[in-house]
Chains A and B, each alone.
Chain A
Amino acid sequence: MPADTANTGYRGVWVFIEQVGGEVAPVSWELLGAGRQLADALGVELAGVLLGQGVAGLVTEVWAYGADKVYLVEDPVLGFYRTAPYARALVRLVKQYQPEILLLGATSLGRDLSGAVATFLGTGLTADCTSLTIDPETRLLEQTRPAFGGNVMATILCRRHRPQMATVRPRVMPMPSRQEDRRGELVRVDMAFNEAEARVEVIEVIEEKNKAVYLDRAEIIVAGGRGVGSKENFRLLEELAGVLGGTLGASRAAVEAGWLPPEYQVGQTGTTVRPKVYFAIGISGAVQHLVGMQTSDVIVAINNDSQAPIFKVATYGIVGDLRQVVPALTAEFRRQLVPGPG
């Protein structure tokens, strides 16, 4: 195991600023908010790390969201995210400037990158955290995360290695306010890259919103179960999803009935989802379904059986016949959301 680095002068909190085509992933701002609190608790600096090509314009944004310092590496090879050059750049910065904490968003990019970087550095990496605090006595980062599909929470420490690395779930840390005139320090670092080291070539990126295969990334899911009763009745759910810009989902019973194809199934043997709002309509709430959706921000249950277990996890519930409740909801959302002629 690489040498003990806990007491060798690693200082400061870093946040990797994830950007694609100059657009910053909101989780990076959330992490600057969380990182600010950690840095203040430790009495150290907060820095953002910005890698890319033509991204210098974002530096003021990183200051505005709370960073004291920005490390900026620009190179054409960093124009598209690719693991190898991004990992090398980040590893080199860490070795040179030695932060004690390094945070990344638990996005697909953040997880892809952090796993490589932690391995190069031989340090610990805690995945998908939902809470970060500092133990005032030891100054260690307490990293709390769900495991076992959300059934278990664990607090993880990285005692003897630096930096302490974590990826953090999007949308759990509050968005900090943006301070327009806040300025900080800029550290530009030049490194030589060559295209061959990237090992990959991005051929095409295809945007695909509202498709079932992206259920695990959907922000609003309108899911139906056996209680929907027929394929025709699923039209009611489709209309609701349409008004909300959401995606359809299904329990296994609804899939087995042939009302929706298998890729729409939520649950243990389907997809695990974590939308902002999950509508469970005519779904009883079997444990195999619950494990796939119980960490949704808001759960709305519509069921005519007031004793259905789904109501135990629901934020809001309506007891009633879905054939009346769902059209009423669609109509009301349409009234509220779609700007009418007057």
Chain B
Amino acid sequence: MLQMVVCVKQVPDTAEVRIDPRTNTLVRAGVPAIINPFDAHAVEAAVRLKEKYGGRVTALSMGPPQAAEVLRRALGMGADRAILLTDRAFAGSDTLATSYILARAIEVINRETPVDLVFCGKQAIDGDTAQVGPGIATRLGFTQLTYCMAIDAVDLEQGYIQVQRKLEGKREIIRGRLPALLTVVKDLNELRYPSLPALIRAARATITTWSKDNLDLDPAQIGLKGSPTSVRRIFAPPARPGGEIIPGEPRAAAVALVARLVQMKVIADK
């Protein structure tokens, strides 16, 4: 029986997020909110382990009340229960404060039944930091296994998990002691389409909501106040330097293009 917690974040669909060039503010109006894509793969991984070894999957999200939607998505994919951490006091948390709040919630779950595995996505597609997973692992003292692309084996008796990590041009096969925290990449699995009965169950399920009062928190470590980093300003990325259309017949154009790329040293001349 594996006790698993999956951290899922609700994120804006970043393809549609833009900066208003006049006000330098984020244009979020009308941008759909989705489950962080990596987190969907994390839910899938946990559900597959449950099917193989038995156990229970808790989906955990911190966010505004609307974040309940991504928890329902996780329930539809096979999570057994969902907990939403929502409180005005959590707003403005950076990764240090976010990992603190999530770790505190996991500690509450851990007191019910000891947690064997925590899953996070490799990174959130909005903040893009990849820091919350390592933060949670560090706070809980769990083995930290980032960038997992395959789970080879879990051995509860021996107390280890073997995974494959995706590194720069390399794959690392590594065995870690339980309990462990995994951050996952998309190669880990293919998402399943939720069945209709699962979706109906998810729509009807109650989502447990915890505020700061349900967690044993130091108020100085949460929200804006508890966040050492602060965003001084946001702005639109500089436009890409004006492109050059290379004219001419295919052969002439190809010769000119190759000359430019070789000269820029982006493609090595041998």
A227 interfacial contact with B, CB 8 Å: no
Contact of B257 among A118, A287, A318 (CB under 8 A): A318
Contacts of A300 in B (CB 8 A): 257, 261
> A44 to nearest B CB, angstroms?
21
Interface presence of B171 (CB below 8 A): yes
Q: Verify B231–A155 contact, CB threshold 8 A.
A: yes
Interface residues of A, dominant DSSP: mixed
Q: How far is the CB of B238 from chain A (nearest CB, A)?
A: 8
Q: How far is the CA of A97 from the CA of B166 in the complex (A)?
A: 34
Assess the B243–A146 pair: CB atoms within 8 A.
Answer: no
Query: Which residues of chain B are near A313, meaning CB under 8 Å?
Result: 240, 243
Q: Which residue of B lies closest to A200 (CB)?
A: B176
Contact between chains at B250 and A328 (CB < 8 Å): yes
Docked Cα-Cα span, A161 to B227, in Å, equals: 10
Q: Is the CB of A123 within 8 A of B228?
A: yes
Q: Given A156-B230, A329-B258, does the pair A315, B241 have CB atoms closer than 8 Å? A: yes
Q: A128-B128, A203-B173, A317-B243 are in contact. Are A119 and B135 (CB under 8 A)?
A: yes
| B173 in contact with A204 (CB, 8 Å) | yes
- Chain B: interface secondary structure? mixed
Contact A339 B266 (CB under 8 A): no
Chain B residues with CB under 8 A of A126: 229
A120 to B218, CA, bound (A): 16
A119 contacts B176, C-beta separation under 8 Å: no
Please tell me if the beta carbons of A200 and B134 are within 8 angstroms of each other in the complex.
Answer: no
With a CB–CB cut-off of 8 A, which chain B residues contact A263? 187
Q: Is B99 an interface residue (CB 8 A)?
A: yes
A158 interface residue per 8 A CB criterion: yes
B17 touches A1 (CB 8 A): no
A58 at the interface (CB under 8 A from B): no
A315 in contact with B244 given A156-B229, A203-B174 (CB within 8 Å): yes
Q: What separation, in Å, do the CA atoms of A127 and B135 have in the docked complex?
A: 13
Given A116-B138, A316-B243, residue A329 in contact with residue B254 (CB < 8 A): yes
Give the distance to chain A from B263, nearest Cβ to Cβ, in Å.
11
Between-chain CB contacts (< 8 Å), 27 pairs: A108-B166, A108-B167, A109-B167, A115-B134, A124-B227, A124-B228, A125-B129, A147-B126, A147-B127, A148-B17, A148-B26, A148-B125, A152-B236, A157-B229, A158-B229, A159-B228, A160-B228, A206-B170, A276-B267, A298-B264, A298-B266, A313-B243, A316-B245, A317-B244, A317-B246, A318-B245, A320-B253
Question: Which 10 residue pairs across A and B have the least CB separation, nearest first?
Answer: A115-B134, A124-B228, A127-B129, A328-B254, A124-B229, A149-B14, A119-B138, A324-B250, A200-B176, A161-B228
